[in-house]
Amino acid sequence: MSDSLERIIKAIKPLDEVAMEAARKRQDSLTKPQGSLGRLEELSIKTAGIKADPLPKLKHKAIIIMVADHGVVAESVSLYPQEVTRQMVLNFLEGGAGINVLASHVGARVVIVDMGVIGGFPPLPGLVCKMIDFGTKNMANGPAMSREQALDALEAGIKVVEAEMGKGLDIVGTGDMGIGNTTAASTICAAITGEPIKKVTGRGTGIGDKQLAHKIEVIKRALAVNHPSARDPVDVLAKVGGFEIGGLAGVILAAAAYRIPVVIDGFISGAAALIASGLSPRVKDYLIAAHVSAEPGHALLLNFLGLRPLLNLEMRLGEGTGAALGIFLAEAATRILTEMATFAEAGVSEAQPIPEDTIKKWGHQKSPIF
């Protein structure tokens, strides 16, 4: 493990309990019945703890999309050809993808990172190059990447976050693109959680029953050939992961180290969270699960991490689309905490306890129903 990766992991601290308690007290004093905004209240308190600020503000928002190709596509695990990965990068850059629309809607900038697209790209405005290699190798035949490459992918994610902090970064969402990456995510999920392969493997781009059965067999082969160790998340990443998954794991670790809330998107981001939390269990406290994907392994993965998704919209696009919606809710939650008036500020009467003698009197009265 490199010095900078060790530094980042050591920098991840527990949530700030003092800030959380102050935020909790303020929530209870706002002009509403206590707890009436449900999980938005919880989310604002958690954000206060993450940022060590009882009145956190989420002005600067970014969604980091890591992109890479997968050698396992040679096994016909996807409906789409491999060149779609490259084509979608160009679509992101042109602003034509779903994530561009939703990120614009919530006021988040989109950061596109080439972690290993086959063929590479010339220098393009808006594209960050952190290429590890021209796609991973076919994990059904051997390791997807070397251990050194896995560590390089983690480092790349850390560097992207640190660069974005220079532009202002109060909250980050994770996104992905890479034909074949649900196969990698399913394999990581099975390796780390111990869940049966059939339970964690879904239809990805919309494959039919026969192709799904084939995809499950490919994952079984990958696990049998590579024997990834659940106790060593870098080993899992190297043997059955993807460069973009490693990059996202680095993003998660760096964000936690710098007290930045991380809104994770769907199944691929969840697989990255498994890698990151294996390296530092404290990472889980910094994660906000935007939604639960239609991919069956995602719900199992979130349960393993102890995370409750904010939304269930049956989404499975990836790109960070769910993360954009999660960022919207996180910002709404913090604005309620910081901008809503307290009872004292608004001159509104607070709830009054009912006198004990009145409560006793109720017990002696007969109900008019009877």
CB-based contact 88:94 (threshold 8 Å): no
Between the two ends of the chain, the Cα-to-Cα distance in Å is 75
Closest CA to 111 of 271, 248, 270, 268: 248
Distances in whole angstroms, Cα of residue 219 to Cα of each of 174, 238, 368: 25, 15, 67
Q: What is the DSSP string of 293-334?
A: -SSHHHHHHHHHHT---SB-------TTHHHHHHHHHHHHHH
Instruction: Decide: helix, strand or coil at residue 358.
Output: helix
Q: Of residues 75, 164, 295, 319, which has the active-site annotation?
A: 319
Q: How far is CA 13 from the centre of its chain?
A: 19
Tokens of 313: 């919209």
Please name the helix (run of DSSP H) or strand (run of DSSP E) that holds residue 163, with its range, or none.
helix 147-165
CB-based contact 221:228 (threshold 8 Å): no
Question: HSE of 119 in the Cβ direction (CA atoms, 13 Å)?
Answer: 8
Does the annotation mark 164 as catalytic? no
Q: Where are the beta strands (DSSP E) in the chain?
A: 61-68, 109-116, 127-129, 171-177, 262-264, 287-289
Residues whose CB falls within 8 Å of the CB of residue 204, separated by 6 or more in sequence, listed in order: 77, 78, 79, 182, 183, 215, 295, 316
Number of helices followed by number of strands (H, E) in the chain: 16, 6
Residue 344: exposure state from Cβ atoms within 10 A (0-12, 13-18, ≥19): exposed
Indicate which residues carry an active-site annotation.
319
